[in-house]
Structure 1
Amino acid sequence: MTETYLPPRQPPIPPWTYPGSGVLPPEPPQKKNRFRRNTVALLAAATLAAGGIGGTVGALVAGDDGAAVQTTSAPAATTSDTRPVDVSSVVAKVQNSVVQVNMRTANAQGVGSGVIISADGRILTNNHVVAGAEQLSVTLADGKTVDAHVVGTDPSSDLAVIQADGVSGLAPAKFADSSSVHVGDEVIAIGSPAGLQGTVTTGIVSALNRDVTVPGEEQEPQQQDENSPFPYMQQEDQSSQNTVSYKAIQTDASINQGNSGGPLFNAAGEVVGINSAIYSPVSGPDGSAGSVGIGFAIPSNTAQQVIDQL
């Protein structure tokens, strides 16, 4: 009997798409890691079937990590308190600090999330949530929707600060020191996946210092708040705007389209990260994809640095 050697089967390369474009050419074999940004911007509105709720659904923006992912993972935290986290109590404490961010262009609309950072309506979100928006509004936890405008953006970190108009007495979130986060810590994500506002998911910190690289948003100059000391950051080298890289917190808490810009809380109800990207090995014809338990958040210390520039 003659034996025939069969080479190992290579996994298929998933289609990575951009909003409004076709399938990208297959990447070279050495590029094995892809990250997807969970934005819902720039797709025509659709209607959610669940519960008859009106909302928008969109495509993921694909990113290319040109090198193997490098990880520096801290050991799991040790504590004498082994009691399980009371998720309902944490959510009740922080849910009023989370908003839905609604953006609209001339022919499309999208949904993201944000976290309140001041009682008078300053809100932190992702730059890719608001980039290119011609109209902007936020829906508060009580269901009230108010107009909003961009105060400042930092495309290099994919963060932006917006202002909700005509509000006061809001509940700002408390930010934690992300350098004290450990692998294994329990975390809670709150946001508006697919426009389902106030959705809560839980998980743990899976890894720290993940190198994440995603495409940057090319943004036309916008008229900013004349009272704002925080200008839109423009880079002379336009090619440098093509990608955004950062060290991320990895979590298995479910993060989907619409969670972008929303907070990742620790067990004390403090923000440890801003949910910004997911990895998904499979996508639909329109580029849509869902959580497979690999999500990424910009650390809260990075977010604080951007906020402090205001």
Structure 2
Amino acid sequence: MRGLGSPRGPEFLTLPLGARQEPAEARRAVLQVPLFQGTPPQAPPAPAPKTPAAPPRGRLLLIAALVAAVTGAGAGVAGARLIEGAGPAPFVALPRVPPAPSASLTGMSATAARVLPSVVSIQAGRAGGSGFALDGQGHILTNAHVVRGEQEVTVVLNDGRRLNARVIGEDDGEDLAVLEVDHSGDLTPATLGRSSELSVGDQVLAIGSPLGLTGTVTAGIVSATDREVRLGGYWRTAVQTDASINPGNSGGPLVNARGEVVGVNTAIAAGRGGGNIGIGFAIPIDRAAPIAERIIRN
């Protein structure tokens, strides 16, 4: 990550201490000092008092000392203000709205919060993908190409817990597989919807672990409901979406705005760089659910 560089801003010009004007009190004190123009008249000799009074020069020195003290105090205050001004600017609290209660989640935020506990990350040898819990008996649906050649895999729950799972069946033609874990109580089953009720333009979320980033949620719309693509070595119809899908999303759910699973994210159309270009495909849940039921029964 490249840095943003050193901050720059306008120069701040400060006057030297000597350029400060004397405080008003000091000027008034100076004006009180008697000033003579020319030679003062000679006073007639007076009898020497018993207690000699301080000579005028002593009074001048005393007043001058007082003026110097007042001036020095003013300069000290001015200097302190200059030093304070040379430091960092004081913290300014910008106005912000009060935090909203967590129970106020609405729209797609509430949808994501409802579905995330049902989604798992799958580690199968060097491969990785996603899946989601089907029921309360520990069954998980994913893509066959995610677990191909493996009998034992590891699933990582949304809260970070890891469970061992077995591959109990695959359908290579539809690119679907079902896993089973022993601790079924640790899974939160997803709610299955109906892909036949989808319309172009409907909002959808793709949830999974793209590039190993567990619990990633991306949003988009339904671009087509029956796009013909090659899945599992055969031409099949699929739900097309512009929700961002990348390697590692395979087997994760595509859900509608109500949080119901309407597809199994399976493939993308990629450019030369291999990244997402906004064209992804999901196996319709109306076709995937009966296959999963058949694998579980057998």
> Which TM-score band (shorter chain)?
0.5 to 0.7
Tell me how far 1:134 sits from its aligned partner.
5.2
The alignment partner of 1:260 has SS state of: coil
What per-residue deviation string (whole Å, max 9, x for no partner) do you get for residues 85-135 of structure 1?
71111111111000001101xxxx121000100123200000111101254
Separation in structure 2 between the aligned mates of residue 142 and residue 281 of structure 1, nearest angstrom: 34
Alignment of 1:74-223 (within 5 A): 86-104=107-125, 109-133=126-150, 135-214=152-231, 216=232
- Matching residue within 250, 258, 280 for 1:295: 280
Separation in structure 1 between the aligned mates of residue 135 and residue 268 of structure 2, nearest angstrom: 28
What residue number does 2:29 align with? none
Aligned residue pairs, count: 191
Tell me how far 1:244 sits from its aligned partner.
2.7
What residue number does 1:269 align with? 259
Which one has a bigger Cα radius of gyration? 2
With over 3 angstroms needed to count, the CA separation of the structure-2 counterparts of 1:175 and 1:161, relative to structure 1, is same
What per-residue deviation string (whole Å, max 9, x for no partner) do you get for residues 210-261 of structure 1?
11114x4xxxxxxxxxxxxxxxxxxxxxxxxxx1321100000000000000
Separation in structure 1 between the aligned mates of residue 135 and residue 234 of structure 2, nearest angstrom: 27
With over 3 angstroms needed to count, the CA separation of the structure-2 counterparts of 1:164 and 1:245, relative to structure 1, is farther
- Matching residue within 207, 219, 240 for 1:250: 240
Q: TM-score, normalization: structure 2? A: 0.62
Separation in structure 1 between the aligned mates of residue 234 and residue 211 of structure 2, nearest angstrom: 24
Structure 1 segments, 4+ long, off by >2 Å, are none
Partner letter of residue 138 of structure 1? V
Separation in structure 2 between the aligned mates of residue 140 and residue 167 of structure 1, nearest angstrom: 12
Contact 1:139 1:145 in 2 (8 A): yes
What per-residue deviation string (whole Å, max 9, x for no partner) do you get for residues 178-210 of structure 1?
111000000001000010000000000001211
What per-residue deviation string (whole Å, max 9, x for no partner) do you get for residues 159-189 of structure 1?
1100123341521111111111000000001
Partner letter of residue 103 of structure 1? A
Separation in structure 2 between the aligned mates of residue 135 and residue 162 of structure 1, nearest angstrom: 9
Partner letter of residue 242 of structure 2? D
Q: TM-score, normalization: structure 1? A: 0.60
Separation in structure 2 between the aligned mates of residue 265 and residue 183 of structure 1, nearest angstrom: 14
RMSD (Å) for aligned C-alpha atoms: 1.5
Q: Which moved more, 1:138-147 or 1:168-177?
A: 168-177
The alignment partner of 2:278 has SS state of: coil
Contact 1:185 1:205 in 2 (8 A): yes
Contact 2:129 2:251 in 1 (8 A): yes
Separation in structure 1 between the aligned mates of residue 139 and residue 129 of structure 2, nearest angstrom: 16
Contact 1:120 1:169 in 2 (8 A): no
Q: Which has the larger helix fraction?
A: 2
What residue number does 2:290 align with? 305
Separation in structure 2 between the aligned mates of residue 268 and residue 277 of structure 1, nearest angstrom: 23
Query: Percent of aligned pairs with the same residue?
Result: 49
Separation in structure 1 between the aligned mates of residue 219 and residue 149 of structure 2, nearest angstrom: 31
Separation in structure 1 between the aligned mates of residue 135 and residue 127 of structure 2, nearest angstrom: 24
Q: Which moved more, 1:199-208 or 1:158-167?
A: 158-167
Separation in structure 2 between the aligned mates of residue 184 and residue 290 of structure 1, nearest angstrom: 23
